[in-house]
Amino acid sequence: MQLHAEIVAVHTRHPFLIARGGTSAYRVVWVRLVDGDGAEGWGEASPSRYYGETADTVMAALQQYAPLLEAADAWSLEAIERALERTLRHQAAARSAVSAALHDLVAKRVGLPLYRYWGLDGAAAPQSSFTIGLAPDAETLRARVREAAPYPILKVKLGSSWDREILRLVREEAPQAVLRVDANGAWSAAQALGMLPALHDARVEMLEQPVAGHDLAGLRFVRERAALPVVADESCVTATDIPRLAGAVDGVNIKLAKCGSLREALRMIAVARAHDLRVMCGCMIETTLGIAAAAQLAPLLDDADLDGAALLADDPFAGPAMVNGRLVLGDAPGLGVTRRGGDPVRG
């Protein structure tokens, strides 16, 4: 297989801010694998500096992976993913793009959507949340919540100096919405404890990563005192992290750009289920090409946060979509992605 890659800039409708900062411009990497007979598989890397990756490091990693892929049998998914990890381990976004392209190629060859190739029912996908990022002021926040009115589940980013006011304003603008909160590890355990009454008053359904990723004792402290589920994101990168989280949280948030591949994501789901944990799949800021890979896992999830493409102003792809919060996977083979107004993503 020949590997082709390019860096592409995409832009969110509004600056997307979380406790660690943010921007409105993001660089993603499109990956295309072309087999000897011309069949193609596509994937996308959405790197995060938090995990030590940029679009440039993704491109450098792909150069290391190219010789391995050139000699590989496209059907040998497990063997290829193990070899990628041995070649260059700590480049999860780069590996996840290759993994998506490999699975896209294989499922296209058998003429099935990937989720059906796995034996899953697309109708079992949960609704996805829609994210309300940190806003600079109350009026901007109100406007963004009003824009999100079609979405029944809102995920509210906190970790600011006015978190309680944010909760009050969001609930005021969206009195019927299901609210989930993500602090992205910005609070101490004591601050999280102090926020619990406000979360209760706002009828928040779920609390994601209240304390720093390394603070498992803090997670356990909050979970033992919270009346709502606590979910780990930054604390849970791969399947090996899950056993130590059992008892400290109620669930885990899986992201392809963290764990490195679709097959690792499947392992994480299995391990989480074995430990009786709630399973969510999240995303970075991604086009529909990136979201389509994660969406194939949706029938296996309790919760989804796959709104990355819905936040974009210039998504160049169509495919598996979030329609007013409902994940629609479709019947097209592979990841089911096409270019908007251009060439199809071929099989």
- Report the CATH number that the domain containing residue 177 is assigned in CATH: 3.20.20.120
pLDDT category of residue 20 using cuts at 50, 70 and 90: confident
Residue 128 lies in a domain: yes
Q: State pLDDT tens for residues 74-86.
A: 999 999 999 999 9
- Same domain for 165 and 305: yes
Q: Which domain holds residue 59?
A: 2-112
Which class for 178: exposed (0-12), middle (13-18), buried (19 or more C-beta within 10 A)? middle
Averaged pLDDT for residues 122-136: 97
Q: What confidence score (pLDDT) does residue 22 get?
A: 87
Q: What confidence score (pLDDT) does residue 343 get?
A: 54
Q: State pLDDT tens for residues 86-118.
A: 999 889 999 999 999 999 999 999 999 999 999
Which amino acid is located at 180 in the chain?
R
- Same domain for 108 and 122: no
Matching residue, tokens 């009786």: 276
If we measure between CA atoms, which residue out of 93, 92, 101 comes closest to residue 35? Answer: 101
Give the residue from 112, 130, 164 where a domain finishes. Answer: 112
Q: What confidence score (pLDDT) does residue 314 get?
A: 96
- Same domain for 177 and 305: yes
Give the residue from 112, 131, 149 where a domain finishes. Answer: 112
Residue 167 has pLDDT above 50, yes or no: yes
- Same domain for 132 and 97: no
User: Could you tell me the pTM of the whole model?
Assistant: 0.95
* Beta carbons of 320 and 293 less than 8 angstroms apart: no
| Crossing angle between the packed helical segments 77-87 and 55-70, to the nearest 10 degrees | 130
- Same domain for 99 and 126: no
Averaged pLDDT for residues 144-156: 97
DSSP state of 191: H
Averaged pLDDT for residues 51-68: 97
Structure tokens that stand for 34 in this block: 């072309």
Structure tokens that stand for 134 in this block: 């940190």
The Cβ-side half-sphere exposure at 34, using a 13 Å CA radius, reads: 7
Question: How many structural domains does the chain have?
Answer: 2
Which amino acid is located at 64 in the chain?
Q
- Same domain for 127 and 51: no
Give the residue from 81, 96, 112 where a domain finishes. Answer: 112
Q: What is the mean pLDDT of the chain?
A: 96
Residue 48 lies in a domain: yes
Backbone angles phi, psi at 196, to 5 degrees: -60, -40
- Helix extents (H) in the chain: 55-70, 77-87, 92-109, 114-117, 138-147, 163-173, 189-201, 216-225, 242-245, 256-259, 262-274, 288-295
Residue 229 has pLDDT above 50, yes or no: yes
Structure tokens that stand for 330 in this block: 């479709």
3-state secondary structure 129-179: CEEECCCCCHHHHHHHHHHCCCCCEEEEECCCCCHHHHHHHHHHHCCCCEE
Q: What confidence score (pLDDT) does residue 347 get?
A: 46
Averaged pLDDT for residues 336-340: 94
* Beta carbons of 40 and 105 less than 8 angstroms apart: yes
